[in-house]
């Protein structure tokens, strides 16, 4: 009687079991990181969905976008990672559709994310650097202040988190380099609002 097939079978079962245990452990660590708010090694992948309904279903369950995430914390996250989901309130599908469709007109503008609930850390870091790295003229400063009055959140975001700093830097770039006006800046801020709700 040949014992080698039995040994091979047992070895294959052991390998499959070990792989399954490793996957469960990795999932458990990721869940603990989300609960604790630690995003250093948590990497959300870009969402590639066929429909807005599908992308909404995925992003509404992601939570790497957080109010408490400070701009300086972005340095501890890989540039290839994603900031996904809403930070304050649950996402609302009708509002999500309105935002994503509204952002289509800015698709060729590299400073503007195509999806407010799926922002690459690399883009967030670049925009954050603009908040200190781009000086505005007096007229541009006036346009910036007017955009704050026009925007629904009265600024780039509802709180002074990573989004506020990043989208303040974004506005500086759009004003100084692309000649945007205050109404355009406010429109962009409204469309890329990642706080959730309607």
Q: Could you read off the pLDDT of 55-102 as tens digits, one per residue?
A: 999 999 998 888 888 999 999 999 999 999 998 899 999 999 999 999
Question: What is the predicted pLDDT for the residue at 178?
Answer: 98
Rounded-to-integer distance, Cα 145 and Cα 66, Å: 26
User: Cα separations (Å) of 43 from 34, 39, 94, 104, 124?
Assistant: 11, 8, 27, 26, 15
Rounded-to-integer distance, Cα 158 and Cα 178, Å: 25
pLDDT-flagged residues of the chain (< 50): 23-42
User: Cα separations (Å) of 61 from 47, 90, 115?
Assistant: 12, 9, 15
Helix, strand, coil percentages for the chain (3-state, nearest 5):
60, 5, 40
Phi and psi (nearest 5°) for 164?
-55, -50
Question: Closest by alpha carbon to 135, among 178, 162, 175?
Answer: 175
- Are 47 and 69 contacting, i.e. CB atoms less than 8 angstroms apart? no
Question: Closest by alpha carbon to 91, among 198, 196, 193?
Answer: 196
Mean pLDDT of all residues belonging to the chain: 84
> SS3 of 197, please?
strand
Question: What is the predicted pLDDT for the residue at 45?
Answer: 73
Rounded-to-integer distance, Cα 62 and Cα 188, Å: 23
Question: What is the predicted pLDDT for the residue at 5?
Answer: 64
- Residue whose token pair is 């954050």: 128
């Amino acid at each position: 009687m040949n014992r080698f097939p039995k040994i091979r079978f047992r070895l294959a079962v052991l390998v499959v079991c070990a792989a399954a245990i490793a996957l469960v452990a990795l999932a458990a660590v990721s869940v603990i990181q989300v609960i604790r708010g630690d995003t250093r090694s948590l990497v959300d992948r870009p969402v590639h969905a066929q429909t807005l309904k599908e992308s909404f279903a995925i992003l509404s369950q992601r939570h790497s976008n957080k109010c408490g995430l400070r701009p300086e914390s972005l340095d501890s996250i890989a540039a290839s990672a994603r900031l996904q989901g809403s930070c304050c309130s649950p996402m609302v599908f009708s509002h999500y559709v309105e935002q994503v469709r509204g952002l289509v007109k800015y698709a060729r503008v590299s400073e503007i994310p195509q999806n407010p609930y799926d922002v690459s850390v690399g883009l967030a870091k670049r925009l954050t650097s603009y908040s200190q790295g781009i000086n505005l003229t007096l007229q541009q400063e006036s346009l910036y202040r007017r955009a704050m009055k026009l925007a629904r959140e009265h600024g780039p975001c509802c709180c002074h988190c990573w989004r506020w700093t990043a989208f303040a830097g974004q506005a500086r770039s759009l004003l100084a380099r692309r000649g945007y006006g205050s109404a355009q800046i406010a429109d962009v801020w409204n469309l890329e609002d990642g706080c959730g709700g309607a």
